[in-house]
Amino acid sequence: MKLASLKSGGRDGTLVVVDRRLERAVRVPHIATTLQQALERWSEVAAPLALVTQELEAGVRADAFAFDTLQAASPLPRAYQFLDGSVYLHHMEKARKARGAAMPPNYKTDPLMYQGLSDAFCGPHDPLLLPDESLELDYEAEIAIVTDEVPMGTTVEQASSYIRLVMLLNDYTLRALTRTELPKGFGFLQAKPTSAFSPVAVTPDELGAAFDGERFTLRVRSSVNGQRMGEPDAGRDMFFTYPQLIAHAARTRTLSAGTIIGAGSISNQDESVGFGCIAEARIHEQGVHGAPRTPWLRFGDRVCIEAFDVTGASVFGAINQVIEKGVRSK
């Protein structure tokens, strides 16, 4: 299934089922009015939602309408919990070296993870509002999962069964603030503004062989102002898997239904595929040219992130945003 949330209907949006081509959609208020509501009743609603998908694909839904990604909020416009990890150690090592920070002593035994802003996410085509260009805004192309309720103490072997949805994530970072904020030892706060997610979230079965229960073998392309930055494979060079991230997060707490977990900026050791963030591109340029050439994001820049399956079809739709000067009022 492919599910989305329209902006109409309040802060949690209106749940719709979307066809595989991302062209048609159906509202399903008789099943669930919001995606959060569906996740909290997944055992009851999964089969009815799947039936709607079948009918939509068969072209027998008279109530279907054109799906406009401009009218889509992030699949979960807000969430009770958003956790982001860093499982591509190649990226972590380079990012820390760039800001003069050592790797933590246990980085190969325990995943790095922080709890991010989750009370309001950007829509996939909404502008990202930034108060000041000098904060060195960077994008990070990621794949995130959404869980069912996960019991405390869930093991790695059990964790995959709690993955309900998959989506793209642009986890913005203010690089100028990481250099002053992270040495305090309390993690991210100001350095992580709101994030954005793809127009649709998909159930793992929708990905077929691209999901092996642990990782997603998908090419994730990113560009700035139409210039391709990279197209790394999300399934390659992962040191920790999604089940390991779930088990790590649930060690001492229950995860509520609708918890979002990211895996960090996608990074392959083969740099010929490019990069999933500006920071890595600048580090590469520093080594090759003696100085970075790619600027941090500025007002008016457009960032696009999209994932493709083996046929070249877009899996989640694109996150396509312009950076604008301003602050969010709500």
> What's the pLDDT score for residue 187?
82
Confidence of residue 27 (pLDDT cuts 50, 70, 90): very high
Helix (H) or strand (E) holding 228: strand 227-230
Domain count within the chain: 2
Is residue 330 one of the residues assigned to a domain?
Answer: no
CATH assignment at residue 117: 3.90.850.10
Tell me which of 71, 88, 118 is where a domain ends: 71
The rounded percent of the chain whose pLDDT value lies above 90 is 86
Any domain includes 284: yes
Lowest mean pLDDT among 31-40, 97-106, 205-214: 97-106
Same domain, 315 and 249: yes
3-state class percentages of the chain: helix first, strand second, coil last, to nearest 5 = 25, 30, 45
51/167 same-domain check = no
Element (H, E) at 50: helix 42-58
Checking if the pLDDT of 327 tops 80, the result is: no
pLDDT at 171: 97
Residue 329 reports pLDDT greater than 70: no
Question: Is there a single domain that holds both residue 143 and residue 290?
Answer: yes
Domain boundary, last residue among 71, 90, 119: 71
Q: Are residues 45 and 159 in the same domain?
A: no
The answer to whether position 127 is within a domain reads: yes
Q: What is the mean pLDDT of residues 190-202?
A: 95
Residue 99 within any structural domain of the chain:
yes
Would you say residue 300 lies in a domain? yes
Residue 281 lies in a domain: yes
Same domain flag for 262 and 280: yes
Q: 17, 1 in Cβ contact below 8 A?
A: yes
> Are 123 and 209 within one domain?
yes
- The reply to whether 290 falls in a domain is yes
Q: How confident is the model at residue 126 (pLDDT cuts 50, 70, 90)?
A: very high
pLDDT of res. 98: 67
pTM: 0.95
* 56 and 91 part of one domain: no
Residue 103 and residue 38 share a domain: no
Q: What is the pLDDT of residue 109?
A: 87
Mean pLDDT, the chain, rounded, equals 94
Residues 196 and 321 occupy one common structural domain: yes
Cα torsion for 166, 55, 49, 203, to the nearest 10°?
Answer: -20
Do residue 135 and residue 220 come from a single domain? Answer: yes
pLDDT in tens, 61-95: 999 999 999 999 999 999 999 999 999 987 777 77
Average confidence (pLDDT) over 293-319 = 96
Q: For residue 150, tell me if it sits in a domain.
A: yes
Predicted confidence (pLDDT) per residue in 103-124, tens digit? 777 878 889 899 999 999 999 9
- Give the domain-ending residue among 52, 71, 90: 71
Same-domain check for residues 82 and 65: no
Do residue 144 and residue 55 come from a single domain? no
Angle at 80 between CA 75 and CA 84, to 5 degrees: 80
Q: How far apart, in Å, are the Cα atoms of 286 and each of 225, 264, 272, 276, 294?
A: 22, 22, 16, 17, 10
Angstrom distance (rounded) from CA 292 to CA 140: 18
Categorize the per-residue pLDDT at 99 as very low, low, confident or very high, splitting at 50, 70 and 90: low
Containing domain of residue 191, as a range? 78-325
pLDDT, average across residues 176-203? 91
- Give the pLDDT confidence score for residue 180 in this predicted structure: 87
Q: What is the pLDDT of residues 6-25, one digit of tens each?
A: 999 999 999 999 999 999 99
